Structure 1
Amino acid sequence: MKQLAPRGRQLKARGSNTAVPVRSRDRIDTWRKWYKTAEWQALRSDVLLAALFTCCRCGFLGESRELVADHVQPHRGDRDLFFDRSNLQCLCATCHNGDKQREERRTF
């Protein structure tokens, strides 16, 4: 009997060193990795704490995971502007993902 060639991807043994897939936008926008730095995490915490975990737009009082440290002026990949404390404000996810994004799209 003739042996068939394997089809599809080959399975790897558990614990083998497999590469984690990288999203295409992460390859294009290298500044996105700045959000994962300890410097950003400390800055974000400082912004949320200074605002007493309250959205600057609607006054929503929330937990850290419900709030965003938003760039008042879009940084567009400028590292100095990205980490500028005076360029950050506390917004709830609703205000950040809705109104603020629409405003930025109009000016870009």
Structure 2
Amino acid sequence: MPKLPWKAWYSTARWRALRLAIFLRDLYTCGKCGLIEGNTSLLVCDHINPHRGDERLFWDETNLQTLCKSCHDKLKQAEEQSSLHTRGVWY
């Protein structure tokens, strides 16, 4: 399987700084459930519209939101399940 170059963006100092800036902008508050969480390891800086390797979308602050891990995992799981028919899953 080919290595996806955009995965490395998550390991950069630029991403770490942007992630913290988004948490601060959103006052460490989950955009779905409203939970305020000071422990940033329990928060996710989520792309509202999936970037799918589009560098412009990846770094776009207006495309980022703060979610708690619980909401992020539920949201992303629901999105994955709803898109199964378009991803070529075979039974």
The answer to whether the superposition gives a TM-score over 0.5 is yes
SS across alignment from 1:28 = coil
Residue of structure 2 in register with 1:42 after alignment: 17
Kindly state the Cα deviation for residue 88 of structure 1 after the two structures are TM-superposed. Answer: 0.1
Secondary structure in structure 2 of the residue aligned to 1:100: helix
The alignment's TM-score, normalised by the length of structure 2, stands at 0.81
Q: Which runs of 4+ in 1 moved over 3 A?
A: none
How many residue pairs were aligned? 83
Deviation at 1:47, TM superposition (A): 0.4
C-alpha deviations, 1:12-61, integer Å up to 9, x for none?
A: xxxxxxxxxxxx7xx53221110011111111001001111110000111
Partner of 2:89: none
SS in 1 for 2:21: helix
Change (3 A) 1:84 1:105: farther
Q: Take 2:4 and 2:80, find their aligned partners in 1: how far apart are those partners?
A: 17
Give the SS at the match of 1:80: helix
- Quote the offset at 1:104 in angstroms: 4.8
Look up the match of 1:89.
Answer: 65
Letter in 2 for 1:75: H
Where structure 1 has 5 or more consecutive residues not aligned to the other structure, the ranges are 1-23
> Aligned Cα RMSD in Å?
1.7
Find the residue that maps to 2:15 and give its secondary structure.
Answer: helix
Identity percentage of aligned residues: 46
Instruction: Tell me by how many angstroms 1:105 deviates.
Output: 4.6
2-structure distance, mates of 1:103, 1:86: 20
Q: Where is the helix percentage greater, Structure 1 or Structure 2? A: 2
Matches within 5 A, 1:1-108: 28-62=3-37, 63-107=39-83
Higher relative contact order (CA 8 A, sep 6+): 2
